[in-house]
């Protein structure tokens, strides 16, 4: 555990304007949003956790932090909720999620605004994230009638062999700041229809968004007779609460989204007690630009993937591998296009790129650019921009770094908009570069050559969980399983058949014959008196 995990670490406190507790315009907007949602922060307000807007660094609220002891009490409540909820038929569990989705849809605009104020992503991306929550609700409702198991051919006469899926228990969900609502919804709505109860520890950088989204779910549950109390709870706390969740013997599943460093700690704790892990960790995503690519399309795809959410998506494009025959011309177009990006308040509809989350992210970006230069890179952009009225916001021009090869810094995930560019001559070389990092989340190739496209997706191609052709690395749809391999953790929070992560499987054999044949022809004849 490092200081990075604590929002009230000294370097952040130093940044709080002395008037942090006076209501800034953004704080007023955030408070008004809670009013529109019919929610109150009530006893969540306190003195431990100051929450800031990255837009201008102003304070939004100060919250009371939960402690590991509070986590214990919440887990006990969640266990009780689980005992009742698992008995509710799955389609009726889906009804709760359907009602919740309707509430989120009704309040989409207010929720998007709050998300943008607290996280700093531009409004259109914030709306996209809220839409993702609505979409996953619909997905989960459909799923509530589709939680089926297999019937398998038995080798024994008059026997039936079947797999059932049962609710698993309490889900502990730990999430990152960059998708402060969607990742929770991916896991929680699916877990709810699967019959689990859930505890959410959001990032300490985005607790207000969490309280708003979970507050609406609590409202929907309060109005639904079949939903027990404490079905969904929020822990407002730092990494210590995350550790308490990871270590708690009554938390059956832990879905943790965040840095590799966090995942390495959580994974060991879960392994020690054989809890089920769903790990969604860092990525270092690459796109290959082949000579046959539609270069206009590739340019658009690369720029959005590299700079969307100010380079703070797990699927952000961080490495561009361009065929040497087109490399110089493509880089010139990239530099020219980066120069046209409008950087500023995320609440302005014209803005392409909002702020970094905080000073720590800015410092990390500058350190990475320094290292890139030291490793022979030529850096374009990356400087801090002075935005009127936002002295404590960290706005940057996204950077392009032309690299002599895949150096040490290129192999690291720096959570900021830096696009490293490298050249290649053969597709084998490009795929080796793409796979030559420890992370394995998202990848793409821009090509019009079907052989290249297919090879990239084949077993000898990309080793990532997400493999795209002619689109960028970011912007996944909810239907497909989402996640990555290697140090990205191997988890799949949602999509496809990942609902199985939230259930336990029982294999049942029923003998409806009058004899007792043993499997594999084993003989065990007994002399039993009739
Ligand atoms: P982070 O690891 O600092 O924090 C993530 C969450 O983990 C927070 O809630 C934090 O309080 C908690 N935490 C931190 N240390 C912990 C510990 N030792 N035990 C338990 N909990 C702990 O990450 P961040 O800065 O919020 O987010 C950025 C990172 O998240 C990037 O690496 C990004 O790639 C990754 N991410 C991955 C995905 C994915 O789906 N693969 C999605 C979003 C973000």
What pLDDT does 436 receive? 98
For 113-251, list the strands marked E by DSSP. Answer: 151-152, 159-167, 170-174, 197-201, 232-234
Kind and range of the H or E run holding 434: helix 427-435
- What span, in angstroms and rounded, lies between the C-alpha atoms of 193 and 94? 5
Q: Is the pLDDT of residue 156 over 90?
A: yes
Out of 137, 194, 310, 314, which one is annotated catalytic?
314
**Cross-strand bridge partners of residue 385:** 395
Backbone angles phi, psi at 159, to 5 degrees: -130, 145
CB 251 within 8 A of CB 381: no
Q: Is the CB of 277 under 6 A from ligand 1?
A: no
**CA distances, 304 to each of 317, 328, 331, 334, 342 (Å):** 9, 20, 15, 11, 13
- What span, in angstroms and rounded, lies between the C-alpha atoms of 448 and 254? 41
**CA distances, 517 to each of 112, 508, 512 (Å):** 62, 16, 11
Q: Is the CB of 178 under 6 A from ligand 1?
A: yes
What pLDDT does 530 receive? 83
From 129, 172, 175, 176, mutation site for ligand 1 pocket: most ligand atoms within 8 A of C-beta: 176
Backbone angles phi, psi at 425, to 5 degrees: -110, -40
Residue 464 catalytic?
no
What pLDDT does 23 receive? 82
Tell me 249's DSSP state: T
Residue 241 catalytic?
no
Q: Is the pLDDT of residue 162 over 80?
A: yes
What pLDDT does 482 receive? 96
- What span, in angstroms and rounded, lies between the C-alpha atoms of 160 and 459? 37
Tokens of 470: 């002619």
Q: Is the pLDDT of residue 21 over 70?
A: no
In this prediction the pTM is 0.95
Q: Is the CB of 314 under 6 A from ligand 1?
A: yes
Interval between CA 294 and ligand 1 midpoint (Å): 35
Interval between CA 320 and ligand 1 midpoint (Å): 25
**DSSP code string of 400-426:** EEE-SSS-TGGGS--SSSEEEEEEESS
Atom of ligand 1 nearest to the CA of 357: 25
For the segment 504-512, the average pLDDT, to the nearest whole number, is 98
For the segment 167-194, the average pLDDT, to the nearest whole number, is 98
Q: Is the CB of 316 under 6 A from ligand 1?
A: no
Kind and range of the H or E run holding 446: strand 442-446
User: pLDDT tens digit string along 315-343?
Assistant: 999 999 999 999 999 999 999 999 999 99
CB 293 within 8 A of CB 448: yes
**DSSP code string of 203-240:** -TT-HHHHHHHHHHHHHHHHT-TTPPTTSEEE----HH
What pLDDT does 347 receive? 98
Interval between CA 243 and ligand 1 midpoint (Å): 12
- What span, in angstroms and rounded, lies between the C-alpha atoms of 268 and 261? 11
Interval between CA 174 and ligand 1 midpoint (Å): 8
What pLDDT does 2 receive? 29
Out of 118, 125, 129, 280, which one is annotated catalytic?
280
């Amino acid at each position: 555990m490092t200081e990075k995990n604590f929002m009230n670490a000294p370097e952040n406190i130093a940044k709080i304007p002395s008037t942090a507790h006076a209501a800034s315009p953004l704080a007023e907007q955030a408070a008004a949003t809670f009013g529109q949602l019919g929610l109150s922060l009530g006893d969540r307000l306190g003195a431990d956790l100051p929450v800031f807007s990255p837009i201008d660094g102003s304070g939004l609220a100060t919250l009371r932090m939960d402690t590991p002891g509070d986590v214990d009490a919440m887990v006990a409540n969640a266990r009780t909720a689980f005992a009742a909820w698992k008995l509710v038929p799955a389609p009726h569990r889906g009804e709760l999620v359907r009602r919740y989705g309707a509430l989120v849809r009704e309040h989409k605009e207010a929720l998007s605004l709050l998300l943008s104020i607290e996280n700093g992503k531009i409004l259109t991306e914030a709306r996209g994230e809220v839409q993702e929550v609505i979409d996953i609700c619909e997905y989960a409702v459909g799923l509530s009638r589709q939680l089926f198991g297999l019937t398998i051919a038995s080798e024994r006469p008059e026997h039936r062999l079947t797999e059932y899926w049962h609710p698993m228990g309490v889900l502990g969900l730990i999430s990152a700041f960059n998708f402060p609502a969607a990742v929770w919804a991916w896991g929680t709505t699916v877990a709810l229809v699967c019959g689990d109860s859930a505890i959410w520890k959001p990032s300490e950088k985005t607790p207000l968004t969490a309280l708003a989204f979970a507050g609406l779910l609590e409202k929907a549950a309060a109005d639904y007779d079949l939903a027990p109390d404490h079905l969904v709870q929020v822990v407002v706390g730092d990494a210590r609460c995350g550790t308490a969740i990871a270590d708690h013997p009554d938390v059956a599943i832990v879905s943790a989204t965040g840095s590799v460093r966090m995942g390495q700690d959580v994974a060991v704790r879960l392994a020690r007690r054989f809890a089920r892990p769903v790990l969604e960790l860092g990525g270092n995503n690459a796109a290959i630009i082949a000579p046959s690519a539609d270069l206009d399309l590739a340019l658009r795809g690369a720029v959005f993937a590299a700079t969307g959410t100010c380079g703070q998506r797990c699927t952000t494009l961080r490495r561009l591998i361009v065929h040497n025959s087109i490399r110089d011309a493509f880089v010139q177009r990239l530099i020219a296009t980066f120069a046209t990006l409008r950087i500023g308040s995320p609440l302005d509809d014209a803005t392409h790129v909002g702020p970094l989350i905080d000073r720590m992210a800015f410092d990390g970006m500058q350190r990475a650019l320094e290292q890139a230069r030291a490793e022979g890179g030529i850096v374009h952009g990356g400087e801090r921009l002075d935005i009127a009225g936002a002295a404590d916001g960290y706005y940057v021009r996204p950077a392009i770094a032309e690299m002599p090869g895949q150096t040490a810094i290129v192999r690291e995930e720096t959570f900021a908009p830096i696009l490293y560019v490298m050249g290649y001559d053969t597709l084998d070389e490009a795929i080796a570069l793409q796979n030559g990092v420890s992370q394995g989340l998202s990848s793409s190739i821009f090509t019009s050559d079907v052989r290249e496209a297919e090879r990239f997706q084949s077993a000898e191609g990309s080793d990532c969980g997400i493999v795209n052709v002619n689109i960028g690395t970011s912007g996944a749809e909810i239907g497909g399983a989402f996640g990555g391999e290697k140090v990205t953790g191997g988890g799949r929070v949602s999509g496809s058949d990942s609902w199985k992560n939230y259930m336990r499987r029982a294999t049942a054999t029923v003998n409806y014959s009058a004899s007792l044949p043993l499997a594999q022809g084993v003989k065990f004849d007994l002399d039993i008196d009739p």
